[in-house]
């Protein structure tokens, strides 16, 4: 028998007391626990997995050994052996910080529940655009078996096409549906319609809209919702009340500048995301306007800035955490058994009323 690694490790272990801070291999194995408890590794495994066949006294012995050795099972070995747990990749580029935070919470808890491994990744956007092989390379090297893709990455047609071609199971978050893939989203049109109706109910009739960038699927849908509500109220859609932004603070400021310096001045502004709403409010302050006394402003997304701003923003909340949980759950299912019309999962949104709006006084 050659002097192989095993022997070497055994020797090392014998000589040098194994401390917490040893660089590698700080854990004990199931075998060591078994030996200490005077049982077979299999019994230890049974105890760990709550199989109730094990005798109480044996169980106790095993638990004692586990505690003494400070034993922790290895997920790697475990998943390798039972082949049950998936290695799930969570892909995002630049969602808002609040979105990311909730997204993590949701995927995390869903993965833990199913004993899946969550591997978070933020692909480099430049490489994504420039290197056509990047995606392929990345997924060839990694061992990710399933993907959850967050917006705005999930709205990138080119990227999603590559994902589909890479023959990987995936779920997209956001108002999109690509090929055979599943997606989870809110009804963007209905949400925007709700928000617009809310402003109408407060008596506003000249409602400005700050649109999102064309690259985001959500932009067109939110615009559509706005139009529907306006038209249902019997008001013609006025081009002078519509400005374009690209979902960031600065563009919201500029859009508000255009809207408020035109010849048709809105009494309320619906910014189709919170950052733009904050920008609009910033511009309004600069002009000496008071919010909501002189102008009502609403946002969309319920990002952290929505609640932290002054005044706190009325906005639309997506249940991001729940959506993420659903997405991970869907990964388990055999997609072929899901009817095509069930592949886009729509979850309810909420209109969060805060202090950035008030009834129009006439």
Partner DNA sequence: TTGTACGCGTTATCAA
Partner DNA sequence: TTGATAACGCGTACAA
123 binds a copy of itself per the rule CB under 8 A: no
The residues near 49 (Cβ < 8 Å, ≥ 6 apart) are none
Residues 6+ away with beta carbon under 8 Å from 288 = none
Which 321-360 residues touch a copy of itself, going by CB under 8 A? 332-336
Instruction: Determine, following the binding rule CB under 7 A, whether residue 26 of this chain makes contact with DNA.
Output: no
Of the ranges 35-43, 54-62, 237-245, 299-307, which one interacts with a copy of itself (CB under 8 A)? 299-307
| Minimum CB distance to a copy of itself, residue 58 (Å) | 18
Does residue 289 bind a copy of itself (CB under 8 A)? no
Q: Give me the DSSP letters along 183-231.
A: EEEE-HHHHHHHHHHHHHHTT--SEEEEE--TTSHHHHHHHHHHHHHHH
| E-only strand ranges, 30-133 | 87-91, 117-121
Q: Which of the 8 DSSP states describes residue 176?
A: -
Nearest to 169 by CA among 179, 151, 319: 179
Nearer residue to DNA within complex by CB, 84 or 129 = 84
Binding mask 259-278 for a copy of itself (x = CB under 8 A): ----------------x--x
Kindly state the DSSP code that residue 153 receives in the 8-state scheme.
G
Q: Which of 29, 45, 58, 101 binds a copy of itself (CB under 8 A)?
A: 101
Distance, C-alpha 305 to centroid of its chain: 17
CB of residue 154 vs a copy of itself: minimum separation in angstroms? 18
Select from 3, 14, 16, 23 the one that contacts a copy of itself (CB under 8 A). Answer: 23
Q: With binding defined as CB under 7 A, does residue 6 bind DNA?
A: yes
Long-range Cβ pairs for the range 104-113 (8 Å, 24+): 104/324, 105/321, 105/324, 106/320, 106/321, 106/322, 106/323, 106/324, 106/325, 106/327, 106/328, 107/148, 107/324, 107/325, 107/327, 107/328, 109/325, 110/324, 110/325, 110/327, 110/328, 110/329, 111/328
Q: Which of 12, 13, 42, 157 binds DNA (CB under 7 A)?
A: 42
For a copy of itself, the closer of residues 144 and 173 by Cβ is 144
Q: Given the complex with a copy of itself, which of 26 and 40 has the nearer CB atom?
A: 26
* Beta strand pairing call for 315-317 and 350-352: antiparallel
Among 46, 61, 169, 211, interactor with a copy of itself by CB under 8 A:
169
Span 137-156, contacts to DNA by CB under 7 A: 143
Alpha carbons 271 and 243: distance in angstroms, whole number: 9
Closer to DNA by Cβ: residue 80 or 215: 80
Residue 25 binds a copy of itself, judged by CB under 8 A = yes
Of the candidate residues 12, 49, 142, 180, the single one contacting DNA (CB under 7 A) = 49
* Smallest distance from a copy of itself to CB 179, Å: 11
Residue window 83-122: x/- pattern of binding to DNA, with contact defined by CB under 7 A: xx--------------------------------------
Residue with tokens 């990749």: 89
180 binds, among DNA, a copy of itself, none (CB under 5 to 8 A by kind): a copy of itself
- Strands of the chain, DSSP E: 87-91, 117-121, 146-149, 169-173, 182-186, 207-211, 242-244, 268-271, 296-298, 315-317, 344-347, 350-352
Please select the residue that binds a copy of itself; options are 305, 314, 315, 357, rule is CB under 8 A.
305
* 20 touches a copy of itself (CB under 8 A): yes
Residues that bind DNA (CB under 7 A): 1-6, 9, 25, 27, 29-31, 38-43, 45-46, 48-49, 53-55, 57-58, 71-74, 77-78, 80-84, 143
């Amino acid at each position: 028998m050659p002097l192989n690694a095993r022997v070497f490790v055994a020797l090392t272990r014998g000589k040098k007391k194994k401390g917490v801070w040893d660089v590698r291999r700080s854990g004990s194995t199931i075998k060591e626990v078994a030996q200490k408890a005077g049982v077979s590794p299999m019994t230890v495994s049974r105890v760990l997995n709550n199989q109730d066949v094990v005798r109480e006294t044996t169980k106790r012995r095993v638990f004692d050994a586990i505690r003494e050795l400070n034993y922790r099972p290895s997920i790697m070995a475990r998943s390798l052996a039972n082949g049950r747990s998936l290695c799930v990749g969570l892909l995002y580029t630049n969602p808002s910080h609040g979105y990311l935070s909730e997204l993590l919470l949701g995927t995390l808890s869903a993965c833990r529940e199913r004993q899946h491994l969550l591997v978070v990744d933020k692909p480099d956007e430049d490489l994504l655009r420039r290197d056509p092989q990047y995606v392929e390379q990345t997924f060839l090297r990694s061992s990710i078996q399933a993907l959850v893709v967050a917006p705005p990455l999930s709205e990138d047609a080119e990227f999603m096409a590559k994902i589909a071609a890479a023959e990987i199971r995936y779920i997209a978050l956001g108002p999109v549906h690509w090929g055979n893939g599943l997606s989870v989203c809110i009804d963007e049109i209905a949400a925007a319609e709700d928000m617009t109706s809310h402003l109408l109910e407060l008596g506003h009739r000249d409602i400005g809209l700050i649109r999102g960038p064309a690259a985001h699927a959500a932009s067109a849908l939110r615009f559509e919702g706005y139009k529907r509500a306006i038209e249902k109220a019997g008001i013609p859609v006025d081009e002078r009340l519509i400005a374009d932004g690209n979902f960031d603070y600065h563009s919201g400021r500029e859009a508000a500048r255009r809207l408020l310096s035109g010849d048709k001045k809105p009494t309320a502004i619906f910014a189709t995301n919170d950052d733009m709403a904050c920008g609009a409010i910033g511009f309004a302050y600069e002009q000496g306007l008071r919010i909501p006394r002189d102008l009502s402003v609403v946002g969309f997304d319920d990002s952290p800035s929505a609640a932290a701003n002054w005044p706190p923003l009325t906005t639309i909340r997506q249940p991001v955490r729940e959506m993420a949980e659903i997405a991970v759950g869907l990964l388990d299912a055999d997609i072929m058994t899901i009817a095509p019309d069930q592949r886009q999962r729509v979850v309810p949104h909420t209109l969060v009323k805060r202090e950035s709006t008030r009834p129009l006084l006439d």
